[in-house]
Amino acid sequence: MPNVKISGNSAIAFDGTAPTLLTALEQHKLQVNFHCRQGYCGACRCKLLQGEVQYLNEPLAFVRKGEFLPCCSIPLTDIEIEIP
């Protein structure tokens, strides 16, 4: 069960009850911008400071190095992220 540490905040456990990282963050009342929820728009873009994520579907939105899209990914390892 990977831990998701939010920079400047406490960590949450990705326990498999949420289908994506975005949903897991929302379940813990953490506010993340979103629009399409399918990897198209890039609105949910967050920084990945540590660890690895896996995309459920290859996203079409542009993602810079060190960023990821929580709407269509799950953590592969413990991760640390920064929500803009």
* Closer CB to ligand FES, 1 or 58, in the complex: 58
Out of 12, 42, 74, 75, name the contact with ligand FES by CB under 6 A. Answer: 42
Contacting residues for 24 by C-beta, under 8 A, at least 6 apart: 4, 12, 14, 17, 18
Q: Beta strand 79-82 with 3-6: parallel, antiparallel or unpaired?
A: parallel
Residue 71 contacts ligand FES per CB under 6 A: yes
Q: How far apart are CA 10 and CA 32, in angstroms?
A: 16
Out of 6, 21, 34, 48, name the contact with ligand FES by CB under 6 A. Answer: 34
Out of 4, 21, 44, 74, name the contact with ligand FES by CB under 6 A. Answer: 44
* Closer CB to ligand FES, 1 or 40, in the complex: 40
Contacting ligand FES within 45-64 (CB under 6 A) = 61
Please report, for residues 7, 15, 63, the alpha-carbon distance to residue 40 in angstroms, rounded to integers and kept in the order given: 25, 26, 11
